[in-house]
A and B are shown apart, each in its own frame.
Chain A
Amino acid sequence: MRVWLTLALWFATWLLWSGLYKPLLINLGVLSCLLTLLIARRMGFFGPDVFSLHLTGRLVPFWGWLSKELVKSNIEVARIVLSPRMIISPTVVNLQALPKGRVSQAILGNAITLTPGTVTIDDYEGQLIVHCLTCDGARTLQAGEMNRRAAALER
């Protein structure tokens, strides 16, 4: 069921984006969808706690908030890089991930890495190790707003 749904979605995307309905291109589309399916299956994409199309709707507000944070921290890091003395205070934080699922934990880890100034360097069973460029960034992270928002994706 999940496999067919995904296949239909991918093939519809291919048709929409290619916009050319020649037999050759349609065959190529079917072929590449099947190949992707094979690889995704091998990676365990259709497992019970990995397949997560239901998150899609809740991702949009999360992305909105994330892009605001992105702009802020980009300007912050750019200012640090350009300042003549470059005052940094590298800090390592251990963070207990609030999201329980594997996918939402990956989303949290990636969101942390995506914002400049914080990089997730390890995730072992929900224990994230995060490297922060400044001490302030580490405190903001530990205040945990991103953690809470990522956890809210699951419900």
Chain B
Amino acid sequence: MQIWLDGISFVMFIGGGAFVLIGGVGVLRMPDLYTRMHAASLTDTMGTLLILGGVIVQAGFSLAAIKLVAIALFLLVTGPTATYALANAALLSGVRPDAQTLDGESAS
């Protein structure tokens, strides 16, 4: 039984680490501010969830597991709020997104 639990959290840690790494690579590869944010959000969704999930499996049914779930929820609420603050500040200070609208014309 224990070996299975260890296996599950092993896979989750590897997966979470991979998503954090991919997020970092994406931040470097993307061309401008707004597209970089998309890559960064890989890190704070799947990265966080998988790593915390792995820790939760290790903690088992205990108070610690509930606390970890709460930490995951807090991160999932505060993460996008911070992203919105950053994106909105960039927009208001005049960083125009280099993007098209759905009708095909340029937005900027």
Contact = CB atoms under 8 A, between A and B. Distances in A.
A117 B83 CA distance: 13
Contacts of A138: 102
Contacts, number: 118
A70 B81 CA distance: 16
A96 interface: no
Given A109-B84, A122-B91, A114 B45 contact: yes
Interface string B36-77: 011101100110010000000000000100010000000011
B26 A81 contact: yes
Given A74-B42, A77-B39, 5 more contacts: A80-B26, A114-B79, A114-B80, A118-B38, A122-B91
Interface of A: 16-17, 19, 67, 70-71, 74, 77-78, 80-82, 86, 88-94, 109-111, 113-122, 129, 131, 133, 135, 138-139, 142
8 A-B pairs with least C-beta separation: A113-B80, A81-B26, A90-B99, A121-B87, A110-B80, A74-B46, A92-B107, A116-B41
